[in-house]
Amino acid sequence: MPVFEYKGLTLDGKDTRGFIDAENTQGAKLKLRKSGIFPTDVSEESAKKSEEGPSAARSILRRVKKQEITVFTRQLATLLTAGLPLMEALSATIDHVDDPLLKRTITKVREDVREGKSFADAMRTHPKVFSELYTNMIQAGEASGALDVVLARLADFQEGQLRLRNKIWATMTYPVMMLFIGTGVLGFLFIYVIPQVTKVFEDIGQALPLPTLILISISNFFRSYWWLVGGGIFIVIFSLVKYVKTPKGRNVYDRVILRAPLFGKLVRIIAISRFTMTLSTLLASGIPLINSMDIVKAVVNNSVLSKIIEEAKERVREGEPLSEPLRRSGAFPSMVIQMITAGEKSGELEGMLSKVSEAYDNEVDTTVSGLTALLEPIMVLFMGIVVLFVVLSILLPIFEMSQVVR
């Protein structure tokens, strides 16, 4: 059934807009009038997209924010828990969704469900909005008759992932800002300030000390070849990004980042936290272990760990417990292996995985705070050394001139 976007007025004269499904434009207007809305403009989505051209292409390329999907999931779970049927719950959530793309998507999902599709199958037609993990959990909830419970669990999972991501971004914002501001200040000094100061020394014709000569050479180089430096940096970054997008390049990058002195530990902890929490959520939702591992290997966002999980899945398929192939890989800490082993023996694997995830979430906080505390003095020390070099390079000729005058 077609989906129409409308603009109109409510009974109390307020402007309103949204989406509605109907057989045709007249049917859409009739449904709107019955619901107490007087339409001023009704247009079919497909027709509107073809007329918009480039703006429609931008809308298609734009992705829905994870925060929006999380809010929708929580609202839908709350409504289903309160006893509303799925169709009514979907209609209610559509009215509270702000993102236009998500609003259109949910409207189309609702119409597919109305026409006989399962909720999970309707969502699978929108892979850019609803991930494989999301749709598999919805399918498990429908099959078990506990869709409201699964949605609540899924909302908890998404909120936990968002909190983790926000903590990392919030903690790393200050060091990144310091890096950009410091680079900008140094660039301004070398390109504009230092040439004005050193020109005085060159005009005098006095022999200059080595630090001053080095400073002048660096400043002249940046002034004359700033375009070469900028272009070289751009080419190097562009080439690395293209290489990392290849399977071989991605594998090399993931291996290097796991072994990096400062960030390797953090990347590994975050990946293990995602692995354990996602696997726990999927198992608790009733999805078999083999199918869950197929989904989890994409969540860790590291090709090295994904390959280990894939190999572990094959060993589990052959009858081995999950803990054994993970132990042999050497990529997972002994504490994680011991907790998984205990969970397998007690039949509470999802509970143990959840506890591991909680522990590693706390360790992520500690590690990020430690990295930030370490990076800040390193950056300040580096900036101090550069500024000290600039100051000494300028003051040394002044001291020499003062001695000559005496």
Per-domain boundaries in the chain: 3-61, 66-130, 264-365
Backbone angles phi, psi at 18, to 5 degrees: 170, -155
Q: Quickly tell me which residue has 């796991």 as its tokens.
A: 258
Residue 396's contacts (CB-CB under 8 Å, 6 or more residues apart) are 209, 211, 212
Q: Which CATH class is domain 66-130?
A: mainly alpha
Residue with tokens 């909302």: 155
Same fold, 66-130 and 264-365: yes
* CATH number of the 264-365 domain: 1.20.81.30
Closest to 143 (Cα-Cα) out of 288, 344, 290: 288
What pLDDT sits at residue 405?
52
pLDDT, residue 47, reads 41
The pTM of the full predicted model, rounded to 2 decimals, is: 0.65
For the chain, list residues with pLDDT below 50: 47-61
Per-residue confidence (pLDDT) for residue 270, from 0 to 100: 83
Look at residue 295 in the predicted model and tell me its pLDDT: 80
Give the length of the chain: 406
Nearest of 50, 42, 37, 36 to residue 23 by alpha carbon = 42
List 15's β-bridge partners, or say none: 9
Q: Measure Cα distances from 55 to 50, 58, 59 in Å.
A: 10, 5, 6
**Confidence at residue 48, expressed as pLDDT on a 0 to 100 scale:** 45
Q: Which residues pair with residue 18 across a beta bridge?
A: 6
In the numeric block, which tokens belong to residue 238?
């562009």
